[in-house]
Amino acid sequence: MSNLKHLYIKKYNCLNILKKQNFTALTKLASHKAYSTNNDYQLRPSFELALRAASIQLVLARWGLETATKMDIASGKDALQDERRSKAIEAIRNTVLNGGLQDSLTEEELTIIKKDHGAWEGKDFLYGKHWESLGIFSWLLGRRNEIPHYFSNFDRVQLFQSTGILPGDTKTVDSFVNSYMSIQAKFTIENDILKKQMDLAEIWYWRARLQVLMDLRDDILINEQKDLDKNNSDSNNSDQFEISNKRILEYLRAKNIPTSLRPIIKNIPDILHSATKRAIELGLLSQSTDRDFGVLAEIIESTNPSGHHKKNSEDGKKESILKYADLDSKDHDALMNIAESRMMAFAWATGKIDKWSTEEMHNVGLINPLNVLWAPENK
C-alpha cells in the first residue's frame, strides 16, 4: 500500500468531521471580541462521572502493568514469570469483576481486563491515551484544580493519588464513588469556567484535525512533485502552483472526499489565520502571532561553545513558542491524543456521546452548538 493511500485511509474519519463542522465559514469570519458564556451545560450526575473515572483508572492500572511486561519481553526478560506482577493483574481483575464496577466498564474494557497476563495486543495498548480523559474527570469531580495546557500532559502519579483508589482494593473504589452519591456531595463548577475549558478542548481538537488536512495536502504534493518537475520544467512558479492545486483537487475528487472540503485544502493558510486570530481575541490563546496555534516547547542546546555537551539544565535548555504546523509528526500525534482524549471526556460528561467509545467519538466534533471560533457575536 502506498504511503499516500495509507494516509488517506488512516485519516478519513477526520475528514468527515471537518465536513460536519462547516470549515468554510472560517474564511468569512469578522472580528468578534465578545466571549459568550450563556451556554448552560448539563453534566451527568457526579456519581456517574466517578464510576467512569474509577473504571478508566483500573483499566489504566492494567495498562501500566502490561506495558511493563511488553518492555521486559522486548529486552529479553521472562516477564510472564513475574509472580508479583501477575498477582497485581489478578487483583485488578477481581476488583472489576467482584467490586461492583463490571456494569460500568464497556465491553471493550472488560475484554482487555479479562485477558491473561501478557496477552494484550497492539490495539489494546492504545487505551493509554485515556490518561488525559481521567484527568478531565478528576477536574470535573473537584480532585484537580486545573487542566494543563493542551501541549502538556496531566501528571499521572498525581491523577492516581487524587482518587484515593488502590486498584486491588474494592473498598477504596467504594469510598471514592460513594463520596459522590449524596446531593450534598455534588461538586459544581462555575458555568463560565466550564465553558472556557470546553471551548479550549474544542479549538485544540479542531486544530489537531485541521493538521490532518495539512498533512494530506503536503503528502499529495510530495508524491506529485516529481511529475510536476518532469512534465512542467518550463513552467513558471505561478503555473506550477495552479497545477499543484489542480492535482490536489483531482485526487480528492477521485477519493470521493466531499466537495465542501475541496476549497478548504486550498485555503488552509487563510482559515488557520482567521481561527487563530479569533482565538486570541477571545482569550483562548495567549500569544503574539496569529498565523497558527503556538506550542510551548523546550529546546535543548546540545553543545556549548567549547564543543562539549551541556549538562546544566538551566544552561542547556530554553523554552520557545513553536507553530503547531512546524512540529514533527510524532508531536502532532501526541497533541491529537491529548485533545481527543480530553474532548471525549467532556463529550461523555455532557451526554454528547451516549457510551464510552472511541468510534462514537469520531463522529463528534463539537460540544457547543457551534464552535466558538466561528460562532456569531453574542449581543
pLDDT in tens, 153-172: 999 999 999 999 999 999 99
For residue 19, the model assigns a pLDDT of 46
How confident is the model over 140-148, as a mean pLDDT?
Answer: 94
Per residue in 272-284, pLDDT tens? 999 999 999 999 9
Looking at residue 231, what is its pLDDT?
59
Give this prediction's pTM. 0.79
Distance between start and end Cα atoms, the chain: 53
Q: CA triplet 23, 25, 26: central angle to 5 degrees?
A: 75
What is the per-residue DSSP string for 249-307? HHHHHHTT--GGGHHHHHHHHHHHHHHHHHHHHTTS---S--SS-EEEEEEEP-B-TTS
58 vs 367, higher pLDDT: 58
Q: Is the pLDDT of residue 61 over 50?
A: yes
Helices and strands (H and E) in the chain: how many: 13, 2
Task: Note the pLDDT tens digit of each residue in 284-317.
Answer: 999 988 999 999 886 655 444 444 434 444 555 6
Cα dihedral across residues 281, 332, 338, 374: positive or negative? positive
In the chain, the largest separation of any two C-alpha atoms, in whole Å, equals 76
Q: Which of 345, 343, 336, 341 is nearest to 295 (CA)?
A: 336
Q: Which residues contact 150 (CB under 8 A, 6 or more apart)?
A: 200, 201, 204, 335, 338, 339, 342
Mean pLDDT (whole number) for 80-93:
91
DSSP per residue, 202-217? HHHHHHHHHHHHHHHH
Determine which of 87-101, 147-161, 313-327 has the lowest per-residue pLDDT on average. Answer: 313-327
| Average of per-residue pLDDT across 192-202 | 94
Residue 19 burial class via C-beta count within 10 angstroms: exposed 0-12, middle 13-18, buried 19 and up: middle
- Is the pLDDT reported for residue 147 higher than 90? yes
Residue 163 to residue 182: CA distance in whole angstroms: 17
Does residue 379 register a pLDDT over 50? no
Contact in structure between 266 and 23 (CB atoms under 8 Å): no
- Give the pLDDT of residue 22: 44
Q: How far apart are CA 87 and CA 346, in angstroms?
A: 34
Domain ranges of the chain: 3-39+191-361, 46-185
> Would you state the pLDDT for residue 305?
43
**Per-residue confidence (pLDDT) for residue 1, from 0 to 100:** 43
Can you give the pLDDT at residue 306?
43
pLDDT in tens, 352-378: 999 999 888 887 778 887 888 888 765
Q: Does residue 179 carry a pLDDT above 70? A: yes
The average pLDDT across 42-66 equals 95
63-77, 220-234, 251-265, 358-372: which is most confident: 63-77
